Structure 1
Amino acid sequence: MVSQNLWTFLLEYSVIQGVILSIWAFVKQRKTLLALFFLQVSYVIFIFLLEHFRWYHSLPHLIWTHVPGLFVFSPLLYLHIRRTFAQRSPRFTFWDSLHFVPALLMFVYISPFYFFQSASYKIAAFEHFYADKNIDYVQIGYLSQIALYVVLGRVLVWKKLTKLNNEDSHSINIHLNIYRGLYQSLTMYVVLGLTLAITLAVTQNNWLSYYYFVYLALAFGIFAATIYLFYHHQSPLQEPHQIQVETISSLTKPTVTMPSGLVKYANSALNLADRKAILHQIETHLTTTQAYKNPQLKLAQLSEQIQVPAHHISQCLNQELGKNFFEFINTYRVEAVKQQLLLGAHQHLTLFAIASNCGFNSQSSFYRIFKKITGETPRSFLEKSTTNH
């Protein structure tokens, strides 16, 4: 009884913590997909508690309302990770919406039960289903779908890990560790769920009494994300090194806090003087040619332009500035936008037209990157600069 009370407490607390993470992701990070993921996981756990403790007698219209959402949270996490690792912030496309077709079909299938049945019918149908110990094919279906997305998500994370030695700074490990933890939680959820679904269907035991272990796997995923965030004092969506631009009127070098011990460069032949010289060469080239205004500029192109190996450029940016290539280039683009706004370009051009001239090719990524670097939106910056003048 004590252990069951402990599991109950953990599940109840995970519901609250999941809602908190959802609010944090939406309000603080503007990450809608991740916010919906945490919210949906919390709701799934809540409905399990409602079923297990027979709260559905008081809330009958919540019975099985989580079923379409069971087909939603794994695509949400996958799409969020894919967008996070994209070099540009992609728009939500028609092809992205196809990930949610199973959830839509399930909603259509179960809608008559939601909207046209009485409370007493819903209670009777629910109790009859579990009393007969039916095989839950819906559960087997959504667990199989989650298994598929776990594989897809792990492939994304693995690909990003393979790039760490080439372009990205070590700070991206904050993202990867949290996502790996969430996928480990989902893997446990799938394995336990499928095992119990098959075993209990064969043995004809009552399902709900065993499902603590299945839903605890989801709860531990929420706890792991929370603990990791608290331990590192930062979010999984932000790089830990924030750029601080010193002046408005000229391009300046970003001030950053260096990560401790970039051990992957321990065997590099570049010394401090070499790195400073290469960094000066990069900054001079960008300032004189304004190559950052090319929205398609890549590390390999810059390497060819200044005749410096790409891995040396990455090393200099990582070690001296704590940034990867795209973060560094975006610093120049944002500063160029600010200069144009101060010169009055907004009087005859839209904000995004100005951003496009400075190297941005996506309105959503422009707003996100501008706020990340400056701490305010482009319009807020414009209003302040107009007021000051």
Structure 2
Amino acid sequence: MTAVALFGTFIIHWTAYIGIYKYKLATNKDAIYNFLNKDLAVSYTNTNLQIVENNTPGEYRESITVDNLYFQKLELLCKEQHIYTDSTLNREKVAEKLSISPGYVSQIINTITGDNFAHYINQYRVEAVKEMISNSEYENYNLLAMGLESGFTSKTTFYKAFKKVTGQTPNEYKNTSK
């Protein structure tokens, strides 16, 4: 048992020696700290470790504008794949599709549109209902069926969201659009 303990101790010390002295981590600790805490890149020359400013082009840096890659992907998911019709859609599902965190999904939507996630998705749902109302193919559908078909989960949420987006109830909108 003591042989195993001695061998384990030797491996731990050897690993620390290689990490600290051979790779000069101890002497470059300030450079590593700066690298980890700033938008910088590492440049290796013969035996020196240098920290240089990151020259990543602007389109690859994360910015929260309409040009944000994740926001564009979200728009495509809504416009082309109609993900809003899923009545169980939530931030977590959208985040999974975009491969980002749910908090970042909210941050993108809040910053770019000024709305929260639910209102953003409900706007797409209301637009879908408005298209159904104006489409003669759906004239046999009642308004609640159109709302449920668009992803709303209940009559109450459908009517509240429709009124919030359009300023009219679905019935008022249907009567004025004829």
TM over 0.5: yes
Aligned to 1:317: 109
- Whole-angstrom CA distance in 2 between matches of 1:309 and 1:384: 42
1:383 partner amino acid: N
Q: Give the gaps of 5 or more residues in structure 1.
A: 1-268
Aligned to 1:278: 70
Q: Sort the Cα spacing of 1:324 and 1:275 in 2 relative to 1 into closer, same or farther, 3 A.
A: farther
- Whole-angstrom CA distance in 1 between matches of 2:139 and 2:89: 28
Q: Does the 8 Å contact 1:371/1:377 carry over to 2?
A: yes
Q: Give the gaps of 5 or more residues in structure 2.
A: 1-60
Aligned to 1:356: 148
Higher strand share: 2
- CA apart distance, 1:345: 4.5
Aligned to 1:299: 91
2:135 partner amino acid: L
What TM-score, normalized to structure 2?
0.62
Q: Does the 8 Å contact 1:293/1:358 carry over to 2?
A: yes
Count of residue pairs brought into register by the alignment:
118
1:289 partner amino acid: Q
Secondary structure of 2:80's counterpart equals helix
Q: Check if 1:378 corresponds to 2:154.
A: no
Q: Does the 8 Å contact 2:162/2:168 carry over to 1?
A: yes
Cα offsets for 1:108-146 (capped at 9, x unmatched): xxxxxxxxxxxxxxxxxxxxxxxxxxxxxxxxxxxxxxx
Kindly report which structure 2 residues correspond to 1:181-260, keeping only aligned pairs within 5 A, or say none: none
RMSD: 1.8
Alignment partner of 1:366 out of 148, 158, 165: 158
Cα offsets for 1:189-211 (capped at 9, x unmatched): xxxxxxxxxxxxxxxxxxxxxxx
Cα offsets for 1:133-187 (capped at 9, x unmatched): xxxxxxxxxxxxxxxxxxxxxxxxxxxxxxxxxxxxxxxxxxxxxxxxxxxxxxx
Kindly report which structure 2 residues correspond to 1:1-389, keeping only aligned pairs within 5 A, or say none: 270-272=62-64, 276-386=68-178
Cα offsets for 1:363-383 (capped at 9, x unmatched): 111111101110011111111
- CA apart distance, 1:275: 6.2
- Whole-angstrom CA distance in 2 between matches of 1:346 and 1:381: 15
Moved over 6 A (4+): none
Structure having the higher Rg: 2
- CA apart distance, 1:384: 1.2
- CA apart distance, 1:347: 2.1
- CA apart distance, 1:271: 2.2
Q: Relative contact order (C-alpha < 8 Å, sep 6+): which is higher?
A: 1
Q: Does the 8 Å contact 2:62/2:68 carry over to 1?
A: no
- Whole-angstrom CA distance in 2 between matches of 1:330 and 1:367: 11
Q: Sort the Cα spacing of 1:272 and 1:294 in 2 relative to 1 into closer, same or farther, 3 A.
A: closer
Q: Does the 8 Å contact 1:279/1:316 carry over to 2?
A: yes
